[in-house]
Structure 1
Amino acid sequence: MTQLTAQLDHYSLFIHPNDVRELRRDIWCDDPVEAKLKMGGVRCDVQVGYRGSHIREMPKKSYRVEFETPGNRLVREIHLNAEYNDPSMIRNRLSLELFRELGVHSPDCEHVFLTVNGSPAGVYLRLESVDEYFLRRRSLPFGSIHYAVNDDANFSLISAIDHAAKSRLDDGYERKCGDERSDEQLRQLIYSINTIPRAEFGVQIRNWIDIDKYLRWLAGVVFTQNFDGFIQNYALYCNPQTGLYEIFPWDFDATFGRDIRGEILDYDYVPIEGYNTLSARILDVSEFRHRYRNLLECLLESVFTPKHLNPKVLHLFECIRPYVLQDPYKRAQVQEFEQEVDTILNFIENRRRYLCDHLEDLL
């Protein structure tokens, strides 16, 4: 694998030792501490805390960074993801860039090299937050945003966690933008998805969901095979101009052949129809099912192909490899890192062939 002369941006995080101890004292606490972040020669006052769920227990921590500097009007919050469970450290970025090619709004991201209090912390993925600034940067009107934060965000009346009736219809979601009326509208969405009669669903659901954008998102989750992505790791945005919900991907590291624990996931694990109640009901409508099949057929000949994706995979590997060698948490696994090239390339080939073979399932 050739070395690349281009350099990753260097981010320097400075946290008072007392605050470092405070963060480590309770890794599950969401309260941030004051810090300073230097990036691109600019030094900013920030608030920093750990982020994620199971990843907080990993030795290499991920961070949520909130900016205090008044001049940073278009960057309120970013995430620095450790990508610890992904041996390649590129799956999240590869997935989000694929979604953009599918016509789905997704967070901007780039790999950076992070130091904390002068010591190397390693390669991180700087990930844009999906919030009002995300909307502004894309010239989207301000509307409510809800994060799907756990498996109960399955568009169902039944909990995916304990398989009982949900205590609240918006269980599984965390409001990022909006107010209590936004929460009530979300509850109405979930209720409608589950109670519209089958004969009327194809007509009435158009009053709630941007179908074309949902099908493009569904194609992206099916392509990348993010098993958890159907019931969490997405953001729901209500566009006030159309009154329709759109869906954005979020945190797609458990993709391209590995699960959330970093274990190998067979290329045929997720069916071509995907999962969750909303997908099942949408694809039960013959018109939508036909549109989804035509969309997949087109994308399987253009975007989701080894010819199109393999150079992107190789480029990302070449970009970060010199820095993985400097990553105190990853340099001992550099051989595993390099083997991930073939793991991802083989997944793309096998997943594409599987999906092509199962297009007839959508007839």
Structure 2
Amino acid sequence: MNLWIQGREQALKLCTLATGDSVYRYYKSIVIPFEQPRKVSSTAVVNGGYREDLTAVFNNDCNPGAGMACTMRAPTYQEHMRLIAEEIGLDPATTAGMGTAASMENVAIYTECYENLTVTAIVTGGVEVNGGRVGDPTDYFQPIDKSAVEKPGTINIMLVIDADLPPGILNRAMVTCTEAKTAALQELMVGSHYSTGLATGSGTDQTIVIANPASSLYLESAGKHSKLGELIGRTVLPAVKEALCKQTKLSPRQQHSMLRRFKRYGIVEESLWQAYAGGNAKAVSKPKFMDVLYQVDRDGYVVTYAALYIHLLDEFQWKLLSAVEVRQAGNELLRAAAGKFGVEAPVIAEASVEACLKFWTILLINILRAKCREANGELSEGEA
């Protein structure tokens, strides 16, 4: 325990939980050493599942430095995590841990109380690298390469409940916690990197749920109809949002962008430049085009119409709207957006996802051409 004593002296105490346990940050980790036995359910690869014999849990940043890839400290990920536990002064046999590339300095901590029930969510995370939607197509089926480290982009959650729960309800609390995480991503309209769908998490998310068997409060419900379920939602959802904002600036402000909304459907800077330059012999330079594009990208009208247009495509793919309904509404949105910028509106003749994307691109190119002409005209007048 000498390493733990040394680490504790150098540690930054983030908070004291209602359970009496303290939360520390040191050695690129967030650590919760238990003052007494706890009930823990976790997705940890070492000492995961349901346990009553753990002495601590931790969340570790495996990123060696900015721009550098995560590296293994041992031949297997399990051995790597045991080594990390030892290095931060914990007993690997009675410790559950999570790994991530997110900085522990970007942690978000939220606590909610109701009468004598207290719930705290401690979250780090990012979804810019491997955010995905459950059910996305994959090609992974073989056992993992033992030299591989978990991909960065993980949302790691430690959820502490100052109440005693039976094992099944502790697992139900993890389900509610996961729903809250997904709700946070929905509210931010985060796109999957592997399909046209909205992300429901990253491919490597991890969760540790902790209950207090010493508490006089005994609960047998953690679903959405229970006060415990409500508090889990009210702590995890905002904590996930804050952690994502701290780590990668993912926020409502960042998401107020036509390009970020359309990225999951394949409309990106380069595809728009190719569409613009390919049909215009007197195209402006690429830097000037990008400057105009980024101005249009965050125009309030463009973002609003883009959000509505994309939702039409989502509902079409979910079979909630028919092709006729999508064609009619899509053409109305194209006309409305074109009218705001005084350009010609393309017309969707037959609705399909590919056709709708094509005609939005045509509209956007028309807007960008008009804006580029304006920019060139202003430049000519200034030089004259």
Structure richer in helix, relative to its length: 2
TM-score by length of structure 1 reads 0.27
Q: Which has the higher contact order (CA 8 A, sep 6+)?
A: 1
TM-score by length of structure 2 reads 0.26
